[in-house]
Structure 1
Amino acid sequence: MKKFLALLLSLSMVLALSACGGTKSDDTTKADETKTDAPAETATDFKVGFIMLHDENSTYDLNFINAAKEACEKLGVEYKIITNVPEGQECYDKAAELADDGCNIIFADSFGHEDYMIQAAKEFPNVQFCHSTGTKAHTEGLSNYHNAFASIYEGRYLAGVAAGMKLNDMIANGYITEDQAKMGYVGAFTYAEVISGYTSFYLGAKSVCPSVTMDVTFTGSWYDETAEKEGANKLIANGCVLISQHADSMGAPTACETAGVPNVSYNGSTQAACPNTFIVSSRIDWAPYYEYAITAAMNGEAIDADWTGTLATGSVVLTDVNTTAAAEGTQEAIDAVKAELENGTRHVFDCSTFTVKGETLTSSKADVDTDPNYTPDTEAIVDGYFAESTFRSAPYFDLQIDGINLLDTNFGG
């Protein structure tokens, strides 16, 4: 993992503290940090702004915050981070504030920030605006507005391999039978990003443990510690013997630690708070993108409308495997599959590895261009696999495959 040791230390400390509680998404916005000590050899008048949905108590936002600091300090540029900015008009207000404050490039980190970042980009044409997880840059056609994501589905697939190894170990030791190999997944919303994530995790596990099934529940929030803990406990009560998540608090991991149920977390190691149940975690390392976009802006070069980080760029990473909870041979299994993903001999969404309503897909159109009715517009099956994050950076896989049972859905307000 890129620069992992330094990052993991600070991440683990904060995650351990966050197990005791977290801030809510409607907290008052605040400037988290301004850094001004740029080295003499760099342009000290170049300034970078960051807008974060939550603060360090959210594993999701902490991951962005750490990457922002790493990239800016490496490049020697001044930066300002504003945390707890809701997905509403407040985002535009903070973007305009950062632009007025002299920021040359401004980043936002949450899906719901997009329309307000576009609004700001139109008003401040000389400032570059970059939005992580958004979908509209390729259709808006603004030279100063950009989207970015990473092939995190590959990281989740690798984490799923670790989960499948654990299930096989539990079967071999008589803790469960093959037909009891049911995982649970706590998701935030029933969006393509989350669907892509839980499906890739499931397919990774299925590649190792063919009998696996999975239940999914949704909280309706990216960060709600109580709801995430309740969701995990509901899944455990329903017979799920391993839990993963796409939600941002310590709710699910701490529920698993209390219940003694293995857990695959997201956005960083939870081993400090959950030493007996944490197996591994995948995350996006945003530092490579930040370095790329900031450097391009400093040099007056064009920034990709859609940028997708990969395993090869160091943008998709896994934590160290916790050998206390993981099955023997897990790291070796991850390494072998990672090599296949990197050389193209394995694809996460290989259509031969799953069915939809009992049928193997040969064609599937996805909503890549994002209209209000989510109308499918682009053929996504290429050479026998669903080509995720190829036609735009943000995920568009939204198929409900066999073997995954949705206990509920939540598409937001």
Structure 2
Amino acid sequence: MKKIIALLLAVVMVFALVACASTAKTEEKTDAPAPAETNNEQTTEPAEETDAPAEDETAEPAGDAVGTDIKIGVVLIGDENEGYTYSHIKGIQEATKALGISESNIIWKYSIPEDESCYDACVDCVDQGCQIVITNSYGHQSFCLLAAEEYPDVQFVAMTGDTARANGLDNFHNAFTGIYQARYVGGVVAGMKLQQLIDEGKVEDKNKTADGKIKIGYVGAYPYAEVVSGYTAFFLGLQSIVPDVAMQVQYTNSWFNITAENEAAKALIADGCIIVSQHADSTGAPAACQEALDAGTTVYCVGYNVDMLAVAPTAALTSPTNVWEVFYEYAFRAVMNGESFDQNWCQGYEADAVTLTPLGESCAPGTQEKVDETIAAIKDGSLHVFDTSKFTVGGKTVTTAFATDTDGDFVPDADEAVFDGYYHESYFQSAPSFQLRIDGITELN
């Protein structure tokens, strides 16, 4: 997913047609809305990092120390009404509060599409004195890079991007969390519920495939590595509790489309899926599950980014979520101190950079204990999400898979990611790279 600027621009212009926001308005504010409080408290203590991506941990001078006078530009694909962007807003607010940075020192740019508007927004942030500029959508990346090339004394971070390593600019960075870990744990939560339903005799014939596997569903945005990595992690987590399952993935071809997500979930439920999860940014899928449950259909859901209990109080089990303040506090502190920071940053449970939202009332007994046990195993390195002994592709064990795309065709062709018995996700770059279509999962469209 890379390289030559001309190619990147062409690709991004295509993606802009299906931009991952429900609107394309441009809005600047110096005060972010105050989102509702959520409780993302961890239940286990942080442990030593065990499976980190390659990072430069040397703090070298990168500019003048500015202290709490730091000015931060934030270019967002959506606004506080869209779960993914909301989580970034919350993360930035928490980080600046912890560091004593005034809210007035943040320039917010809302609903910026994945086109030249992003470059213009980045440049405007620089013109207003920002020492660091953040963009939060993959499609922003090439435009953020253009600004970084033009302003070498300003730090730019393309969140969820994947070209910083190849471009090699000292002031251009990518960052992502190890959200695949939390998705695996979310799958464990779903598996515990499914086992309870099996024990209670609530799994019917309509909930099974012709060969007897229990149907689960997944509403995905796009067939990109980020989504494939996430749904595979969720499936493997669920399968660790209930092995005989089959998952159907329905794409919406949008990051945020509440109607499409709702309809996709309804289609999966109609086909007999008894658990539905998502990698899409609205409440559409959980709302569909709650409606079906209220009407007498047995179905439960695992969301993403935000607590879904407000819209699905008895259907929602939990949501994997990014704790973005961990990265933002790290990056802002570096700029405040005039130090460099990682070109590629990715942390998961080892840094408490991912978590689950509070468990819903419908979760099976013993779920919290199983969650704690699973997180502890991820932290101490005894559990690897993409353990190649736990899945097959075409009936065969995976022994080789590349992680890095070097020619811009969206197919990894470099950096062997399978070693020590598992696929090393986010090891060579911060963005997810897992694109294997494993047995047991079917993409419907």
Q: TM-score under structure 1 normalisation?
A: 0.89
> Which of 41, 63, 66 is matched with 2:87 structurally?
63
What one-letter code is carried by the residue in structure 2 that aligns with 1:52?
Answer: L
What one-letter code is carried by the residue in structure 2 that aligns with 1:51?
Answer: V
Inter-partner Cα distance in structure 2 for 1:25 and 1:53 = 9
Q: Is the 8 A contact 1:88 1:116 kept in 2?
A: yes
Q: For the structure 1 residues 186 and 123, does the alpha-carbon distance in structure 2 shift closer, same or farther, using more than 3 Å as the test? A: same
Q: Deviations over 1:284-313 (max 9, x none)?
A: 111011111111111111111100122121
1:378 to partner: Cα distance: 1.4
Inter-partner Cα distance in structure 1 for 2:29 and 2:256 = 19
Which residue pairs with 1:146 in the alignment?
173
Structure 1 residues 365-374 or 113-122, which shifts more? Answer: 365-374
Alignment of 1:398 with 2:435, yes or no, is yes
Alignment of 1:358 with 2:381, yes or no, is no
Which residue pairs with 2:357 in the alignment?
319
Alignment of 1:193 with 2:216, yes or no, is no
> Which of 99, 114, 118 is matched with 2:126 structurally?
99
Which residue pairs with 1:212 in the alignment?
245
Give the 5 Å matches for 1:234-383: 234-260=267-293, 261-322=299-360, 324-369=361-406, 371-372=408-409, 374-383=411-420
Q: For the structure 1 residues 43 and 302, does the alpha-carbon distance in structure 2 shift closer, same or farther, using more than 3 Å as the test? A: closer
Q: Deviations over 1:353-386 (max 9, x none)?
A: 0000000111222334462353411111010100
Q: Is the 8 A contact 1:135 1:370 kept in 2?
A: no
Q: Is the 8 A contact 1:25 1:86 kept in 2?
A: no
What is the DSSP-based 3-state SS (H/G/I as helix, E as strand, rest coil) of the residue aligned with 1:351?
coil
Which residue pairs with 1:26 in the alignment?
23
Q: For the structure 1 residues 290 and 172, does the alpha-carbon distance in structure 2 shift closer, same or farther, using more than 3 Å as the test? A: same
Inter-partner Cα distance in structure 1 for 2:348 and 2:22 = 29
Structure 1 residues 215-224 or 313-322, which shifts more? Answer: 313-322
Inter-partner Cα distance in structure 2 for 1:284 and 1:245 = 15
Inter-partner Cα distance in structure 2 for 1:216 and 1:273 = 22
> Which of 367, 372, 389 is matched with 2:426 structurally?
389
What one-letter code is carried by the residue in structure 2 that aligns with 1:58?
Answer: E
1:43 to partner: Cα distance: 3.8
Alignment RMSD, CA only?
A: 1.5
What is the DSSP-based 3-state SS (H/G/I as helix, E as strand, rest coil) of the residue aligned with 1:353?
coil
Inter-partner Cα distance in structure 2 for 1:313 and 1:164 = 25
Q: Is the 8 A contact 2:21 2:255 kept in 1?
A: no
Q: Is the 8 A contact 1:268 1:319 kept in 2?
A: yes
Name the % identity. Answer: 43
Aligned length: 379
> Larger relative CO (CA 8 A, sep 6+): 1 or 2?
2
1:270 to partner: Cα distance: 0.9
Q: Is the 8 A contact 1:282 1:316 kept in 2?
A: yes
Q: Is the 8 A contact 1:67 1:286 kept in 2?
A: yes
Q: Is the 8 A contact 2:21 2:113 kept in 1?
A: no
What is the DSSP-based 3-state SS (H/G/I as helix, E as strand, rest coil) of the residue aligned with 1:352?
coil
> Which of 249, 261, 264 is matched with 1:231 structurally?
264
Q: For the structure 1 residues 244 and 82, does the alpha-carbon distance in structure 2 shift closer, same or farther, using more than 3 Å as the test? A: same
Inter-partner Cα distance in structure 1 for 2:173 and 2:379 = 26
What is the DSSP-based 3-state SS (H/G/I as helix, E as strand, rest coil) of the residue aligned with 2:351?
coil
Q: Is the 8 A contact 1:136 1:369 kept in 2?
A: no
Inter-partner Cα distance in structure 1 for 2:257 and 2:176 = 23
1:24 to partner: Cα distance: 5.3
Inter-partner Cα distance in structure 1 for 2:399 and 2:409 = 27
1:125 to partner: Cα distance: 1.0
Inter-partner Cα distance in structure 1 for 2:158 and 2:183 = 22
1:247 to partner: Cα distance: 0.3
What is the DSSP-based 3-state SS (H/G/I as helix, E as strand, rest coil) of the residue aligned with 2:69?
coil
Q: For the structure 1 residues 24 and 288, does the alpha-carbon distance in structure 2 shift closer, same or farther, using more than 3 Å as the test? A: closer
What one-letter code is carried by the residue in structure 1 that aligns with 2:391?
Answer: F
Inter-partner Cα distance in structure 1 for 2:330 and 2:95 = 9
Q: Is the 8 A contact 1:134 1:147 kept in 2?
A: yes
Gaps of 5+ in 1: 1-22, 36-41, 409-413
Which residue pairs with 2:235 in the alignment?
202
Q: Is the 8 A contact 1:368 1:391 kept in 2?
A: no
Q: Deviations over 1:72-111 (max 9, x none)?
A: 1222222121110111111101000101010110111111
Q: For the structure 1 residues 126 and 296, does the alpha-carbon distance in structure 2 shift closer, same or farther, using more than 3 Å as the test? A: same
Structure 1 residues 102-111 or 366-375, which shifts more? Answer: 366-375
Inter-partner Cα distance in structure 2 for 1:34 and 1:175 = 49
What is the DSSP-based 3-state SS (H/G/I as helix, E as strand, rest coil) of the residue aligned with 1:114?
helix
1:187 to partner: Cα distance: 0.4
Which residue pairs with 2:138 in the alignment?
111
Q: Is the 8 A contact 2:67 2:337 kept in 1?
A: no
